A and B are shown apart, each in its own frame.
Chain A
Amino acid sequence: MNERKLLLGNETIARGLLENGCRIVTSYPGTPASEILSAAAFFKNRYNLPVHVQWAVNEKIAFEIAYAGAISGLRCAVSMKQVGLNVASDPLMSASYMGTKGGFIVISADDPGPHSSQTEQDSRLMAMLAKIPVLDPDSPSTAKEMTGVAFALSEAFEIPVMIRPTTRICHARQDIEQHAFPESFQEPEFEKNPGRWAATPKFRFQLHRLLEEKLLKIALFEQTAPAMVNETRATKRSSRVIIASGVASAHAMEILQELGLFDSIPMYRVIQPYPLHSAFIDLILSTYEEILILEETTGVIETQFADRRRVKGRMSGHVPGAGELLPEIVENIIRKFTHLESLSVEKPSVPGKRPTLCAGCMHRAAFYAIKRAAPKAIYTGDIGCYTLGLNLNAVDTVLCMGASISQAAGFHHAFKQTKKRSPIIATIGDSTFFHSGVPALLDAVVQQVEFVLVILDNGTTAMTGNQPTPASGFGAFGEPLPHVDIESLVNGCGVAFCRTVNPYELKPTIALLKEAVQFCNGRGPAVVIAKGRCLLDKNPGPAPFTPVEVEITDECDECEYCTTHFECPALISGGEGRTMIDSVLCSGCGVCIEVCPKGAIVEKNTNPG
């Protein structure tokens, strides 16, 4: 027997891809998908596999790189979070028409809840829109098995295949059986065929017709057909049936067992929610009176039942239309469906602790400086750790990746004719700037948008676990790579004012920001690069500051200025007349010394006299 190891869902997906001979894996980091590529990089490095593994600058680029590998006959995969698929939707829609040669897997991780995302969107709907099959794993171990099935399906029909895990699969750990990596790998071969790979609209129509034919056959593909999980004589006679996919199916199975219904209510696990197997639809409609469908986050299986009179699901209102299908919710839906009494759960209202920037984070210093330099500005924000500038009231808008710059432009154009104009300050992280900020900045230069862009350059993609950026100079498994200099890039965009500052030095930062606000008036964008280093970044590099030990003197009257306007988790106002420092959390950045209006936070004098 192969050894069982404890693996994260995302690690099992990476392991499955590589065990099945995947030759290119690309991604852009995003919760809950990030660890797929990190794990692929780890396995590549550890076992010296001939696989190209890279973080790409964004999801669209990641998709296109992996796709070209696939039309060269190699097994390839691209992974991302669900909103990343929005960015990659342009190549996705087209790739489905043109199809593939080597197996091509698109992994789009959804986040019902949402726990760490802007939306609860269902990537399976994107698969329907693109007209490609999608597989929906219900555990880390099935996610691993599905990589092999997906490659086989993709190659059998020359079509991209989506695997859609959710947070509860990506971030579940399970004991997993490991298999060996292949001894030999495919060689690439690109067969020129412009009628397919560079099809003009006329040929696209042909490709679309072909695609429709493929889908009809995929709805008959035996390996991905729904399977009854509890076939017994009793379940054969039932007039009720439960159909479930994804983690909702894992919840439902366990609940049926615990309610003693496993031997009486038949349940089907759907592996491929789209296209739903046509014979399965016929079987269900001809066999059962009442049909309950459990799936996240929309009624993708449900909608494929043309006759829904006997179907209970999200569209019929029997399953909530928003939010995660937690097992307690699934239990009550099943109880109602089987005429058992519902359970009520009273959750006490305990004030939860909101997320916050780390003690000593450079972003906190930068946001504090921004507020001081332009207290009445409109602050457009972006996606990353620094979204938490919200806590310092230094973020007014968060739309999607890169939008801080284009929204700043929109505010400028909206208000430019009015008398009452506030300064506009946009904040964006280094990785997000590369991802989709650059085109927006080009636009702002050309349109002479009067705003200050603060690039919060902590040298890493922090929120998702410190993945490298194009400026890092190394790749997914630490290999040295060329790097792009942000200041040169900004200058290259045609920005006339671009200066770099260390945000831990508050006074020069505030002064520079004021200068930038002055500059942009009548002249177009000014860029300030606040350059520091993420405290969680374990990659080699210089320390962001020399730590100092701080203490609070008797001057402190607990006015709460520091805890409100600087909001450092290491500063605690407990209503005891004096603010305290949590010495375990404090990282010694010393910025609070300058923040305290009463001068009551000082560097500890370790050498008295």
Chain B
Amino acid sequence: MDNHEKRQIIISGLGGQGVLFITRLLAEAAVMKGIPVLTSETHGMAQRGGNVVSHLKTGGYHSPLIRPRQGDLLLALDPNTAPLDSVFLKPEAIKAINSPSLHSTDSDRSTFYIDAVGGAQKSGSPKAANLVLLGFAVGVSQNMTPAKRLFCSMDDIRNVIHNRFSSDQKQSAQNIAALEIGAACAK
């Protein structure tokens, strides 16, 4: 198994922001590539606007949860929870954080900010900040050395969206537009 298939990813945000949806897209990208995957999701009361976090592990793990200091990548839709989520990350992990004010002020070469809400508005689907952030994170990862890269590419995510929305071309196009806006910000 390639080293880059073994990844532990944290995706966090508030209920309603679409944390579950992008977790699922990433997990489906793994399945499509034949990489074993395990995720853990927040359902129930916290989905009503409370803190929501998904763990996603690819490349052959037993436990669905990530332990402190083990995560390779963070996607944070709510900048306020990023410090708490970071407990679960390796020191060198990549952080992609949605924040309206701090974008592209890369403080430590592994933290990347994007105004995903603004990006979503630009894309024409104001609620698609989750996809903008996903596109951004995948884009950022592609700029990294192979050892730090994600297990999937933009093309993989595009394919997953195409498959999922094969009966709704319009939705598919909107989702990919939001994804592309995020990816463009990573360049």
Interchain CB contact under 8 A, B81 and A356: no
B156 within 8 A of partner (CB): no
Interchain CB contact under 8 A, A116 and B62: no
Q: How far is the CA of A598 from the CA of B87 in the complex (A)?
A: 45
Q: A4-B31, A348-B84, A569-B49 are in contact. Are A328 and B41 (CB under 8 A)?
A: no
Q: A175-B36, A347-B87, A358-B16 are in contact. Are A327 and B48 (CB under 8 A)?
A: no
* One of B27, B31, B41, B46 near A355 (C-beta < 8 A): B46
Interchain CB contact under 8 A, B63 and A356: no
Which B residues from 1 to 32 make CB contacts under 8 A with A? 14-16, 23-24, 27-28, 30-31
Interchain CB contact under 8 A, A175 and B31: yes
Complex: chain A residue closest to B126, CB-CB: A584
Interchain CB contact under 8 A, B43 and A32: yes
Q: A328-B67, A345-B68, A353-B80 are in contact. Are A174 and B38 (CB under 8 A)?
A: yes
From A247-255, A271-279, A307-315, A442-450, the one touching the partner chain is A247-255
B166 within 8 A of partner (CB): no
Complex: chain A residue closest to B58, CB-CB: A175
A44 within 8 A of partner (CB): no
From A165-173, A373-381, A416-424, A542-550, the one touching the partner chain is A165-173
- Tell me the minimal C-beta distance from B80 to chain A in angstroms: 6
With a CB–CB cut-off of 8 A, which chain A residues contact B47? 355
Interchain CB contact under 8 A, A171 and B43: yes
Interchain CB contact under 8 A, B49 and A326: no
Which B residues from 48 to 77 make CB contacts under 8 A with A? 48-51, 61-69
With a CB–CB cut-off of 8 A, which chain B residues contact A173? 23-24, 27, 37-39, 41
Interchain CB contact under 8 A, B44 and A388: no
Interface size of A in residues (CB-CB distance below 8 Å): 51
B162 within 8 A of partner (CB): no
B172 within 8 A of partner (CB): no
With a CB–CB cut-off of 8 A, which chain B residues contact A464? 44
Complex: chain B residue closest to A357, CB-CB: B48
B147 within 8 A of partner (CB): no
With a CB–CB cut-off of 8 A, which chain A residues contact B30? 175
Q: A116-B45, A353-B80, A355-B46 are in contact. Are A175 and B37 (CB under 8 A)?
A: yes
Q: How far is the CA of A4 from the CA of B16 in the complex (A)?
A: 29
- Tell me the minimal C-beta distance from A362 to chain B in angstroms: 14
What mask results when residues 79 to 97 of chain B are scored 1 for a CB within 8 Å of chain A, else 0? Answer: 0110110010000000000
Q: How far is the CA of A168 from the CA of B43 in the complex (A)?
A: 11
A115 within 8 A of partner (CB): yes
Which A residues from 247 to 303 make CB contacts under 8 A with B? 247, 250-251, 253-255
Q: How far is the CA of A247 from the CA of B61 in the complex (A)?
A: 12
- Tell me the minimal C-beta distance from B42 to chain A in angstroms: 7
- Tell me the minimal C-beta distance from B8 to chain A in angstroms: 11
Which A residues from 137 to 162 make CB contacts under 8 A with B? 138-139
Interface size of B in residues (CB-CB distance below 8 Å): 44
Q: How far is the CA of A269 from the CA of B80 in the complex (A)?
A: 39
A463 within 8 A of partner (CB): yes
What mask results when residues 92 to 132 of chain B are scored 1 for a CB within 8 Å of chain A, else 0? Answer: 00000000000000000000000001000000001100000
With a CB–CB cut-off of 8 A, which chain A residues contact B84? 347-348, 350, 352
With a CB–CB cut-off of 8 A, which chain B residues contact A355? 15, 45-50
With a CB–CB cut-off of 8 A, which chain A residues contact B63? 247, 250-251, 253-255, 327
Interchain CB contact under 8 A, A353 and B49: yes
Which A residues from 440 to 479 make CB contacts under 8 A with B? 463-465
* One of B37, B50, B64, B126 near A353 (C-beta < 8 A): B50
- Tell me the minimal C-beta distance from B32 to chain A in angstroms: 9
- Tell me the minimal C-beta distance from A440 to chain B in angstroms: 23
- Tell me the minimal C-beta distance from B164 to chain A in angstroms: 11
With a CB–CB cut-off of 8 A, which chain B residues contact A465? 43
* One of A32, A327, A350 near B67 (C-beta < 8 A): A327
Interchain CB contact under 8 A, B38 and A172: yes
Q: How far is the CA of A585 from the CA of B14 in the complex (A)?
A: 12
With a CB–CB cut-off of 8 A, which chain A residues contact B51? 352-353
Interchain CB contact under 8 A, B81 and A352: yes
Q: How far is the CA of A388 from the CA of B126 in the complex (A)?
A: 26
* One of B65, B69, B83 near A326 (C-beta < 8 A): B65
A354 within 8 A of partner (CB): yes
Q: How far is the CA of A347 from the CA of B84 in the complex (A)?
A: 6
- Tell me the minimal C-beta distance from B115 to chain A in angstroms: 13
With a CB–CB cut-off of 8 A, which chain B residues contact A350? 80-81, 83-84
- Tell me the minimal C-beta distance from B157 to chain A in angstroms: 14
Which A residues from 1 to 37 make CB contacts under 8 A with B? 4-6, 8, 31-32, 34
- Tell me the minimal C-beta distance from B70 to chain A in angstroms: 9
Q: A171-B41, A171-B42, A174-B38 are in contact. Are A358 and B65 (CB under 8 A)?
A: no
In this complex, the member of B34, B43, B87 whose beta carbon has the largest number of chain A beta carbons within 10 angstroms is B43
B40 within 8 A of partner (CB): yes
Interchain CB contact under 8 A, A584 and B45: no
Interchain CB contact under 8 A, A32 and B48: no
A59 within 8 A of partner (CB): no
Interchain CB contact under 8 A, A356 and B48: yes
Interchain CB contact under 8 A, B117 and A115: no
A382 within 8 A of partner (CB): no
Q: How far is the CA of A115 from the CA of B44 in the complex (A)?
A: 8
Q: How far is the CA of A365 from the CA of B38 in the complex (A)?
A: 40
A122 within 8 A of partner (CB): no
With a CB–CB cut-off of 8 A, which chain B residues contact A581? none
Q: A173-B24, A350-B80 are in contact. Are A327 and B65 (CB under 8 A)?
A: yes
Which A residues from 320 to 373 make CB contacts under 8 A with B? 326-328, 331, 343, 345-348, 350-358
A512 within 8 A of partner (CB): no
Interchain CB contact under 8 A, B65 and A251: yes
- Tell me the minimal C-beta distance from B18 to chain A in angstroms: 12
Interchain CB contact under 8 A, A116 and B43: yes
Q: How far is the CA of A254 from the CA of B65 in the complex (A)?
A: 10
Complex: chain B residue closest to A351, CB-CB: B80
Complex: chain A residue closest to B28, CB-CB: A6
Interchain CB contact under 8 A, B45 and A463: yes
With a CB–CB cut-off of 8 A, which chain B residues contact A351? 80
Q: A172-B38, A352-B50, A353-B78 are in contact. Are A31 and B65 (CB under 8 A)?
A: no
- Tell me the minimal C-beta distance from B91 to chain A in angstroms: 14
New contact pairs (19) apart from A172-B41, A348-B84, CB-CB < 8 Å:
A6-B24, A6-B27, A6-B28, A115-B46, A139-B38, A172-B39, A173-B24, A175-B37, A251-B63, A253-B62, A255-B63, A327-B66, A343-B68, A347-B84, A352-B50, A353-B51, A355-B45, A356-B48, A583-B126
A residues near B (Cβ < 8 Å) are 4-6, 8, 31-32, 34, 115-116, 138-139, 168, 171-175, 247, 250-251, 253-255, 326-328, 331, 343, 345-348, 350-358, 385, 387-388, 463-465, 569, 583-585
In the A-B complex, the 6 residue pairs with the closest CB atoms: A116-B44, A355-B50, A31-B44, A172-B64, A173-B39, A355-B48
- A selection of 27 A-B contacts at a CB cut-off of 8 Å is A4-B31, A4-B34, A6-B27, A115-B46, A116-B44, A116-B46, A168-B65, A171-B41, A172-B38, A172-B40, A173-B41, A174-B64, A250-B64, A254-B61, A254-B62, A343-B68, A345-B68, A346-B87, A351-B80, A353-B50, A353-B80, A353-B81, A355-B48, A355-B49, A385-B45, A583-B126, A584-B117
